A = this chain, B = another copy of it.
Amino acid sequence: MPLDTDASQVRSQFNQVGTRPLRPDGADKVTGRARFGADTTAPGMLVGKVLRSPHAHARIRAIDSSKAEALEGVHAIVTRDDFAPRDDAHADTLYNVMAREKALYEGHAVAAVAAMSTSVAQAALALIAVDYEVLPHVTDVDEAMGEDAPVLHEGMITGGVDPAPEKASNIAGRCEFGHGDVAEGFARADVVVERSFKTEATHQGYIEPHACLASVSPDGQGELWVCTQGHYMVRNTCAALLDMDVSKLRVTASEIGGGFGGKGVVFIEPVALALARKAGLPVKMVMSRDEVFRASGPTSSTSMWVKIGVTNDGRMTAAEAELRFQGGAFAGSPVEMGAMTAFACYDLENVKVVGYDVVTNRPKQAAYRAPGAPMAAFAVESVVEEVAERIGMDGIELRLANAAKEGTKSSFGQTFGPIGLVETLEAAKAHPNYAAPLGENQGRGIASAFWFNFGGQTSVSLNVNVDGTIALAVGTPDLSGSRASMCLMAAEELGIDYDRVGAIVADTSSLGYNDVTEGSRVTFSAGLATIAAARDAVAKLRARAALTWDIPEDAVVWEDGCAKPAGANAGEFEPLSLAEIAASAGNTGGPIAGHYECSAENAGPGFATHVVDVEVDPETGVTSVLRYLVAQDAGKAIHPSYVEGQLQGGAAQGVGWALNEAYIYGADGKMENPAFLDYRVPLASDLPMIDTVLVEVPIPGLPYGVRGVGETSIVPPLAAVGNAVSNAAGVRLTSLPMSPPHILAALGGGGDD
């Protein structure tokens, strides 16, 4: 059912869209009434807890849970034996959720208990005897690629290589993108800069730990209340892992205290359902912070090499990169997206990027805002900045001279339509921050960045209530005010006030399928579906007016929230308001609703330019962020405050990633800082007000031209902050995080090299 995208359907004047009303979930969230993953109960509910591997790599010879089963108050224990082995697309998910032959990282689940209380559950965990054969482990990506590295998966043959290797390794896959002849390009360059970079794994740092409440009836029907970015994904995945019909599992998404990609996969949910099914009682599971760090999905750590050649007048002649991303214990690091995004900001004749997807004895990585792109941008934009310095050109000017624009063929093959990179560079250049004077030990960093933005499957229903208010049902968990944005778009189409539209996130049994809230897809694709559902409802409202007036449907137009007769032969009638038509719906054919299901296509790429000023204290190595500017293309900002919030949040998380955050592993392969005291995210006091400039270059042909904004803003900060710190410190830093000890060492030694 394609949305009518002819030009007459494109809107450029708005009454509701672009305003900044309060979000419908706001009052409940600030008063503590909102119900998150752990905020529900069921009669007879048990507590579920997971036994996790203390070893980074170990064969599981045997599991003896007999003593635990005998403990008073224990209702069920599940291990690998409670899940049927599989070799399909869900296999890695299953074996991450519950270890099979081997524990592949410290924290890997090996058993789980449902008991009458937390203390009984924990006592039971202590009674489960696991016979481990401890194996050598590897956690560093470069070491994991070494010839002598311990191999995690005996059958892992690198994909994407022709001919295929004969020997198993930790390299799950190789990808390559590019065009032209980089050797020829570098030969034409006046200046060539190449450098190697490393970044550490970071965590999304959501406030709310994973939590769920599962229940399975004796006849096999299940219910799950869960904090997730995608309750349909949870439903489909859990149904597969537990061999249930999808129709027999109903999943309701709680409010969500942050996700950022890390709640787009399952961890405890299938375990909770398996325990509930076995126990015959509801089971609640809530991860501790320690478990979140050790056993949910952080980002990849990376090792990267970048080379860029440029003429003295600032024209890039060639660019090349090699990216090595470890994705934890299973294949699937975001290296391919890192490789695709690496040079996407530039219009290059000669470009080549090679990526390696590597497994290590770490938790399986999960998405984290623009997966893969921030690290690649860190490497590329650091070199771009160094190139600008070397030829004595302003960083923004160099980027403008080479910027991707409409018609540019990207390194990954897409030829861009209208995009807003140049506009963000111009906005940054014009902003007062860019002219602010810098003092001693202060430096400025610039970085631009690209993110794809996705569309995907979406279902929306819009129901007209008897008083002319609207009940809007969407199926995408609201991470960032999307309900408010949907209400604005529905109100815009219907010609009524925002306040007259109520939006909810419907459960999986009430509304059709929706992809996960990720890929910056919701305001774009659920927005498209909301607009289309509203237009479907408007068509029906017009038909009811036509019926009431006994004139043809095409003699009725919808304006200002009213049906009006239109055209010479339509006749003279007083307009009928939405509320009037709604009040008589029972007599004109029944309830009035609009529906839309789609795979949303033509999502438009997002571009941003960040400018950050820092001061580095040479005595302590502490970096203070003085100013931060985000200029980003939103296509059309539906609710500007929430767009700005996304931009600010991305910058804040990126600052943390750049300066402090890192998974620290000991030689024993165990994480040494699994708590927010030791894993330091930025506090409000660490940051200045983050300035934002919204550029609006609409996607052509779509109703409002909205671009996703949730991810692009985390792509530049690693590089922008790195460039600023390097400028302030007077030495080039090439690894993250740029924490005080790291900076002090670099100041002492003249940089990372």
A residues contacting B by CB (< 8 A) are 1-2, 22, 24, 26-28, 31, 33, 39, 41, 43, 215, 217-219, 221, 236, 239, 245-248, 250, 456-459, 461, 463-467, 469-471, 473, 499-502, 504, 506-514, 540, 585-587, 589-593, 595, 597-600
Residues on the B chain within 8 Å of A464, using CB: 512
Shortest distance in angstroms between A741's beta carbon and chain B's nearest beta carbon?
44
A746 to B297, CA, bound (A): 82
Q: Which of B461, B463, B600 sits near A513, CB closer than 8 Å?
A: B463
CA distance A696 to B22 in the complex (A): 57
- Assess the A246–B467 pair: CB atoms within 8 A: yes
Cβ contact within 8 Å between B592 and A597? yes
Contacts of A41 in B (CB 8 A): 41
CB–CB A589/B598 < 8 A: yes
- State whether A502 and B221 are in contact (beta carbons under 8 Å apart), knowing that A463-B511, A512-B463, A590-B1 are contacts in the complex: yes
Point out the residue from B2, B26, B459, B508 that lies within 8 Å of A593, measured CB to CB. B459
Chain B CB within 10 A, most for which of A246, A457, A501: A246
Contact residues in B for A461 (Cβ distance below 8 Å): 461, 510-512, 595
Beta-carbon contact of B24 and A246 below 8 Å: no
Whether the pair A245, B510 counts as a contact (CB closer than 8 A) is: no
Report A257 CB to chain B, min CB distance, Å.
Answer: 16
Pair B599/A247 contact, Cβ less than 8 Å: no
A31 cross-chain contacts in B, Cβ below 8 A: 217-218
Hey, which chain B residues are within 8 Å of A511, CB to CB? 461, 463, 473, 510
Residues of B within 8 A of A250 (CB): 502, 504
Q: Is the CB of A246 within 8 A of B473?
A: no
The minimal Cβ–Cβ distance linking A586 to chain B, given in whole angstroms, is: 5
When distances are taken between beta carbons in the complex, the residues of chain B under 8 Å from A248 are 469, 502
Query: Is the beta-carbon distance between B469 and A246 smaller than 8 angstroms?
Result: yes
Judging by beta carbons under 8 Å apart, are A591 and B457 in contact? yes
A461 to B589, CA, bound (A): 17
23 examples of A-B residue contacts, CB within 8 angstroms = A24-B221, A28-B217, A31-B217, A31-B218, A236-B465, A236-B467, A245-B500, A246-B466, A246-B467, A246-B469, A246-B471, A247-B469, A456-B586, A459-B463, A463-B511, A463-B512, A465-B513, A471-B510, A473-B511, A507-B510, A513-B585, A589-B599, A590-B600
Closest CB pairs A-B (n = 5): A247-B469, A247-B502, A510-B510, A27-B219, A590-B599
B-side contacts of A215, CB under 8 Å: 33
Q: How many copies does the complex hold?
A: 2
Q: Is the CB of B510 within 8 A of A1?
A: no
Give chain B residues whose Cβ lies under 8 Å from the Cβ of A501.
247
Excluding A1-B540, A236-B465, 4 further A-B contacts by CB distance (< 8 Å) are A28-B217, A33-B215, A236-B466, A513-B585
Interface of A is mostly: mixed
A720, chain B: closest CB distance, angstroms: 36
In the complex, what residues of B have CB within 8 A of residue A466's CB? 236, 246, 513
How far, in angstroms, from A215 to B39 measured CA to CA in the complex? 15
A248 to B472 CA separation, bound complex (whole angstroms): 11
Contacts A239-B467, A246-B467; A589 near B473 (Cβ below 8 A): no
Give the residues in chain B near A1, CB-CB below 8 Å: 540, 589-590
Known: A26-B219, A33-B217, A221-B502. A247 touches B470 (CB 8 A): yes
Determine whether the beta carbon of A471 is less than 8 Å from that of B509.
Answer: yes
User: Which chain B residue lies CB-closest to A587?
Assistant: B599
Distance, CA A500 to CA B26, complexed state (A): 39
A585–B459 Cα gap in the complex (Å)?
Answer: 13
By a CB distance below 8 angstroms, the chain B residues around A217 are 27-28, 31, 33
A254 to B: closest C-beta gap in Å: 13
Question: How far does the Cβ of A443 sit from chain B's closest Cβ, in whole Å?
Answer: 45
With A463-B513, A466-B513, A506-B509 as given contacts, are A22 and B219 in contact (CB-CB < 8 Å)?
yes
Q: How far is the CB of A30 from chain B (nearest CB, A)?
A: 9
Q: Is the Cβ of B463 less than 8 Å from the Cβ of A591?
A: no
Query: Hey, which chain B residues are within 8 Å of A599, CB to CB?
Result: 586-587, 589-590
**Docked complex Cα distance between A466 and B597 (Å):** 14
Find chain B residues with CB under 8 A from A43 CB.
Answer: 39
A31 to B, closest residue via Cβ:
B218
List of B residues within 8 angstroms of A512 by Cβ:
461, 463-464, 471, 591-593
Closest chain B CB from A45 CB (angstroms)? 11
Least CB distance from A510 to B in Å reads: 4
Contact partner, A457, options B39, B502, B590, Cβ 8 Å: B590
Nearest-neighbor residue (CB-CB) of A595 within chain B = B595
Q: Which of B465, B514, B591 contacts A247 (CB 8 A)?
A: B465
Contacts of A592 in B (CB 8 A): 512, 597
Chain B residues within an 8 Å CB radius of A585 = 457, 513
CA distance A456 to B590 in the complex (A): 8
In the bound complex, how far is the Cα of B504 from the Cα of A622, in angstroms?
57
Task: Give the residue among A31, A499, A591 with the most B Cβ atoms within 10 A.
Answer: A591
Q: How far is the CB of A152 from chain B (nearest CB, A)?
A: 30
Cβ of A388 to closest chain B Cβ, rounded Å: 43
With A and B bound together, what is the CA distance between A504 and B509 in angstroms? 7
Q: Which residue of B lies closest to A458 (CB)?
A: B590
**Closest beta carbon of chain B to A279's beta carbon, Å:** 12
Q: State in angstroms the CA–CA spacing of A598 and B592 once bound together.
A: 9
Q: A221–B27 contact, CB under 8 A?
A: yes
Given A589-B1, A597-B593; A508-B471 close (CB under 8 Å): yes
Q: Please measure, in the bound complex, the distance between the C-alpha atom of A1 and the C-alpha atom of B594, giving whole angstroms.
A: 12
CB distance from A316 to the nearest CB of B (A): 37
